[in-house]
Amino acid sequence: MIGKVYADRWDSRATCQEMTGSGYGAQKVIKPSVVGGFENAALIARWAQQQGKMSVVSATFESSLGLSAYVQFSYYLELQKEDICMAMNKEPSPSIAHGLGTYSWPKEDITAEPLNIHRNPCSGFIEASVDDAGCLLGNFQVDNKVILRNFTGEEVHKYQLTVNSYGFSFFINNNVLVFLHRFLGTGEDWIPIMKAISGSARCIAVDLPGHGRSKMQNHGMREAAQE
């Protein structure tokens, strides 16, 4: 199946912004890189489509590698919209231009052969091919000319220590990065990033109390009264 995605420029500051336009109804502008990835973005888009709103995917400052994933995701939302309209016995709305127009902003690209996003001379729309995006993702090659430095990732070691957090403090030397995960996360969330930069800095990630392998300590009434 040959698919095309139309690109345009949308507000680069929007996380999940609702816009209105004449003849188009409400439009939900979604940034997958801000809302937690494509899975969360797909859930937001499905909710918006079920409410009769159009979902617009908006990129930040992505390379051709990132935009290729955005192109495929945008096309997936178009197919999802058609399925939802069919289930609700509604006529699908016309395809819209997604916010992928930032492709021309970076001076350099990480890929050896950038994604072909161009203006169609017949329609005047800026288009990207879903098939081209798939080929780029499948045959991705880094352009060695844009690499400034190389780092060798080191093995990540795991330690389990019993620490009384009450009145606990510590000192960190220079060139040490401490990674703190978000709510319901774990220190392991940072392992891919730690491996990437461990050649230039010592990286430490911890499981916050009540997360991962860290457990909350139950204080007795006496200790609680003292606190």
Using alpha carbons, list the distances in angstroms from residue 195 to 105, 138, 179: 29, 23, 13
Query: What is the number of alpha carbons within 13 Å of residue 225 lying toward its C-beta?
Result: 3
Q: What are 177-211's pLDDT values in tens digits?
A: 888 888 888 888 888 888 877 777 888 888 888 88
Tell me what the mean pLDDT of segment 30-58 comes to: 87
Considering the chain, what is the average pLDDT of its residues? 76
Read off the amino acid at residue 36.
G
State the sign of the Cα–Cα–Cα–Cα dihedral 216, 207, 15, 87: negative
Burial bucket for residue 208 (CB in 10 Å: 0-12, 13-18, 19+):
middle
Query: Using CA atoms, how far apart are residues 58 and 77, in angstroms rounded to an integer?
Result: 13
Q: In what order do the strands lie in the sheet with 4-7?
A: 97-98, 4-7, 126-129, 117-119
Query: According to the model, what pLDDT value does residue 151 have?
Result: 63
Q: What are 51-100's pLDDT values in tens digits?
A: 888 888 888 888 888 888 998 998 888 888 888 888 888 887 777 788 88
Alpha-carbon Rg for the chain, nearest whole angstrom, is 23
Q: Indicate the angle between helix axes 64-87 and 38-50, nearest 10 degrees.
A: 30
Tell me what the mean pLDDT of segment 100-108 comes to: 76
CB burial readout 2-25, b (16+ within 10 A) else e: ebbbbbebbeeebebeeeeeeeee
Overall pTM surpassing 0.75 (yes/no): no
